[in-house]
Structure 1
Amino acid sequence: MNDMPLIVTTEWLAARLDEPKLRIVDATVFMKFPEGGGPPDIKSGRSSYEEGHIPGAVYADLAGELSDTDADLPFTVPSREAFIEKLTRLGIGDDTYTVIYDQNALVGESIAASYWASRLAWQMRYEGFDRVAILEGGLQKWLAEGRELSTDEPAYPPAAFTGQRRPEMLATKDDVKKAMADEQTVLINSLSPEEFHGHLSDDPRSGHIPGSLNIFFGIHADEQTKELYEDARLRAAFEQTGALDPDKKVITYCGGGIAATWNALLLNKLGQHNVAVYDGSMNEWASDPSCPIVKSDNR
């Protein structure tokens, strides 16, 4: 499976469920934003996984084991050693290929975007795992098509892994500060237009990083079918920002480094591979008073 696509269909996966080198991962996290603003309520998707998952799938704890729980910010990239130990313990390594899915679990929203799956896929590629894809439409599409679920939890033998970290895939706060004055770097804010302009909160630290452009992560797929739009439509959304220029670097960010990985994945799909994700995103940027923020007064 050396020609692993970035995104696979439910039909593609269903035809390969019995392949011994396949590893399927449920990366669901439930996140709900309280009315009136404030930090989100974050809940592991493990209990939902235990109630039913795609046959052969294991559960990956993005909110816990696969984040640095000692960091000041949620969902911070963990140490390389800790991440690889957890992945290889799930049976993922040099001789396997991985398909990741989630439940599109932003509670109360109907956005069609597998951003938890794309977050784990991004973390894996950052650490050098090449053969990884996400499932188009996630568990919702799988269920809508009447496909089976399982409650069995497979136990795969630990795997070996020798890949190398790709530091160019992760952007720091200092990288973003430099990018604000660099015409060869495109900053993409992946949040909604309302969040981008700072209209959802009276907090003066809401808004966006100066010089960044807004491409909402939720506009790339059909909310009913959960299928991605054709490449021409995806390309049109990004072309206006200059993000598809092969001579430029792109940095995507959002609130906490999750949705940004969905935009980064689609940029990769469209041929732009010089893309980094600002892991701290607005959680880190807004907490530093020295970092400038643009907030629009027009509503």
Structure 2
Amino acid sequence: MTNTEKDNQHPEFLVETDWLEKNLSDPDLRVFDCTVIADLNPDPNAKFPFVFESGRTRFNEGHIPGAGFLNLLDELSDTSSELPFLMPGEPQLVNALGKAGIGGGTRVVLYGSAEPIWAARVWWMLRAFGFNSATILNGGWAKWSAEGRPASIDACTYAPAQFSAHARPECFTGKDEVLAAINENSVRTINALPPMMFSGEGGAVFGRKGRIPGSVNVPFNSLHDPDTGAYLPVVQLREIFDAVGVGDAERIIAYCGSGITASNDAFALAMLGYENVAVYDASLAEWGYDEQLPMEKG
């Protein structure tokens, strides 16, 4: 990545709470809560370490006025796969997004109840299907409510729209490219999980402890202010990624457990102007259970 490209930052990928409150009456604006609730799986014999629940109940208890709810857990994931949160096929996605009211001429603001990882996942999915008018509410519902801004329990009234997909397949990748990248100096592979999971010394385990060989660690929550949940300033974000050698990588691959926190790292990289970024969609939910694929610890 050249320095010229590095200067091509995209602060417009975020909107602040002040701006959103002033623009809630915009007829072209579509605001969505994307929350999924994740907990450690109580079953020690379960294959995957986490269980997930839709955030709709929490949404119904209070949300940004006029906002709708995007069901990432079911409507925006491939439920035919045992792997959680895989990208759905184009027909499913087009139908779900159009039904929600997302289409040509609309501007979308995404948020979550706490950390922005779920909003970042939906943002990355929209990017992968060529929708370029999506933003994330900086700090999400937690910051909005902490500032005493208005809340509602009313149902969303967005009219259905025609969503047109223009696929960008380079936004996602699979295990073959990730495997080939292990010894490829031009590719930087980033693990978005907490340090203990990255090292294999603790935390949840997807099949096997550790990480994909050669990958570097940028924990998803290192990109946020711990008090507000807002993203760190661009200067600090760049320092974090520069510290792990993103530098002049020609290709960047982000992964995690199931493609969610990796999407958060990918979103931050997009804000910094990096273009050739992909999320390994199946991530360790696939890689960690395949004994033919290498892992490392420490």
Tell me the distance in 2 between the aligned counterparts of 1:136 and 1:33.
Answer: 26
Q: Describe the superposition over 1:88-122 as per-residue Cα deviations: whole angstroms up to 9, x where unpaired.
A: 11110011010000012xxxxxxxx3000000111
Query: Which structure is richer in relative contact order (CA contacts within 8 A, separation 6 or more)?
Result: 2
Tell me the distance in 2 between the aligned counterparts of 1:211 and 1:167.
Answer: 24
SS of match in other structure, 2:190 = strand
Worse-matched range after superposition: 12-21 or 192-201: 192-201
Give the deviation of 1:138 after TM superposition. 0.7
Mapping 1:252-271, distance limit 5 Å: 252-271=254-273
Task: List alignment gaps of at least 5 residues for structure 1.
Answer: 105-112
Tell me the distance in 2 between the aligned counterparts of 1:35 and 1:215.
Answer: 27
In the superposition, relative to structure 1, how do residues 35 and 96 fare at CA in structure 2: closer, same or farther (>3 Å)?
A: same
SS of match in other structure, 2:113 = coil
Match of 1:277 in 2: 279
In the superposition, relative to structure 1, how do residues 117 and 128 fare at CA in structure 2: closer, same or farther (>3 Å)?
A: same
Tell me the distance in 2 between the aligned counterparts of 1:153 and 1:227.
Answer: 27
Match of 1:220 in 2: 223
From 65, 71, 78, the counterpart of 1:61: 71
SS of match in other structure, 2:188 = strand
Match of 2:195 in 1: 193
Give the deviation of 1:241 after TM superposition. 2.4
Tell me the distance in 1 between the aligned counterparts of 2:41 and 2:78.
Answer: 24
Tell me the distance in 2 between the aligned counterparts of 1:120 and 1:43.
Answer: 16
User: What letter corresponds to residue 231 of structure 2 in structure 1?
Assistant: L
Match of 1:88 in 2: 98
From 107, 117, 120, the counterpart of 2:119: 117
Worse-matched range after superposition: 278-287 or 150-159: 150-159
- How high is the sequence identity, in percent, across the aligned residues? 40
Match of 2:113 in 1: 103
Q: Report if the CA contact (8 A) 1:180-1:210 is conserved.
A: yes
Worse-matched range after superposition: 220-229 or 73-82: 220-229
User: What letter corresponds to residue 13 of structure 2 in structure 1?
Assistant: L
Paired residue total: 285
Q: Report if the CA contact (8 A) 1:4-1:133 is conserved.
A: no
Q: Report if the CA contact (8 A) 2:49-2:204 is conserved.
A: no
In the superposition, relative to structure 1, how do residues 128 and 7 fare at CA in structure 2: closer, same or farther (>3 Å)?
A: same
Q: Describe the superposition over 1:119-144 as per-residue Cα deviations: whole angstroms up to 9, x where unpaired.
A: 01111111111100111111000000
The normalised TM-score by structure 2 is 0.91
Q: Describe the superposition over 1:214-243 as per-residue Cα deviations: whole angstroms up to 9, x where unpaired.
A: 111111221112232222211111002232
Q: Report if the CA contact (8 A) 1:4-1:131 is conserved.
A: no
Tell me the distance in 2 between the aligned counterparts of 1:69 and 1:234.
Answer: 34
Q: Report if the CA contact (8 A) 1:244-1:267 is conserved.
A: no
Tell me the distance in 2 between the aligned counterparts of 1:183 and 1:220.
Answer: 25
From 25, 30, 42, the counterpart of 1:23: 30
In the superposition, relative to structure 1, how do residues 48 and 158 fare at CA in structure 2: closer, same or farther (>3 Å)?
A: same
User: What letter corresponds to residue 218 of structure 2 in structure 1?
Assistant: I
Give the deviation of 1:201 after TM superposition. 5.8
Q: Report if the CA contact (8 A) 1:254-1:282 is conserved.
A: yes
Tell me the distance in 1 between the aligned counterparts of 2:56 and 2:193.
Answer: 26
In the superposition, relative to structure 1, how do residues 20 and 252 fare at CA in structure 2: closer, same or farther (>3 Å)?
A: same
Q: Report if the CA contact (8 A) 1:29-1:62 is conserved.
A: yes
Task: List alignment gaps of at least 5 residues for structure 2.
Answer: 1-9
Q: Report if the CA contact (8 A) 1:75-1:256 is conserved.
A: yes
Give the deviation of 1:41 after TM superposition. 2.0
Tell me the distance in 2 between the aligned counterparts of 1:35 and 1:167.
Answer: 36
